[in-house]
Amino acid sequence: MKKLVILSIVGLFVFSCVVISAANKPAETQEAYDEDTYGPEAPIVWNKPVKAVFFSHKVHTKDNGLDCESCHDEFFEMEAGAAEAKEDFTMASMGNGLYCGACHDGSTAFAYNAECARCHNAPKEQVVWTKPVQAVVFSHQNHTENAGLGCQDCHDALFTMKSGAAQEKEDFTMASLYAGNYCGACHDGSTAFASNTRCTVCHIGVRGYGKLTGQGEKPSH
């Protein structure tokens, strides 16, 4: 009986040590990021004028030691989304030393007009054009992740960062591609497969379009 009591006391002690150390783990990681000291932990994301531009407080305050006053309220209000409501929240303004451009000038911090992907995310969903013909697709992932291209290989010289913009232009045709414009700047048979081959990797057809948009196949008459 005595043995059993001692055994269970020892057992309880070991058990509580395990519980205490497990309970301490999450507390430690919580201390590592304190929002009052460093600003909000979740990245701020803007979708205007273009989609998926992000900003991290952690990088600026915790990792690079900037204090709140270096941005608030001279360059940014303490309100997520306030800047994107303003007309002048553009790359040109940054060139004039506003917003991110107050520091991202190539000396205080890396330049605003290089390495686009450090601030911009490529869209995940495919671009789909319906003019002049239905159902031509473009995947960013194929080009940025798989082919290793940078944003500047296409933006803004060949395409603007606005889904559907190209199809508003009269010359968004195969003849233009064959002449080396738009996709044809690379899809010429040497940088990438030629535009006059493999029609169906770019043209997904009525059925592919139905699948992609979840609308199913429309009757032809």
Q: Which is nearer to ligand HEC, 202 or 212 (CB)?
A: 202
Residue 92 interacts with ligand HEC (CB under 6 A)? yes
Q: What are 45's two structure tokens?
A: 């994301």
CA distance 129 to 163: 9
Closest alpha carbon to 56 in 150, 122, 119, 123:
119
Q: Which is nearer to ligand HEC, 11 or 97 (CB)?
A: 97
Residue 174 interacts with ligand HEC (CB under 6 A)? yes
Residue 218 interacts with ligand HEC (CB under 6 A)? no
Helices (H) and strands (E) in the chain, counts: 8, 4
- Between residue 187 and residue 206, which ones bind ligand HEC under the rule CB under 6 A? 187, 191-193, 195-196, 198-199, 201-203
Q: Which is nearer to ligand HEC, 10 or 124 (CB)?
A: 124
Q: Which of 58, 98, 126, 185 binds ligand HEC (CB under 6 A)?
A: 185
Q: Where are the beta strands (DSSP E) in the chain?
A: 44-46, 53-55, 127-129, 136-138
Contacts of residues 140-149 at CB distance under 8 Å and 24 or more positions apart, as own/partner, are 144/117, 147/192
**Sign of the C-alpha dihedral computed for residues 59, 63, 64 and 68 taken in this order:** positive
Q: Which of 81, 95, 97, 205 binds ligand HEC (CB under 6 A)?
A: 81
- Between residue 18 and residue 57, which ones bind ligand HEC under the rule CB under 6 A? 37-40, 44, 46-53, 55, 57
Q: Which is nearer to ligand HEC, 29 or 107 (CB)?
A: 107
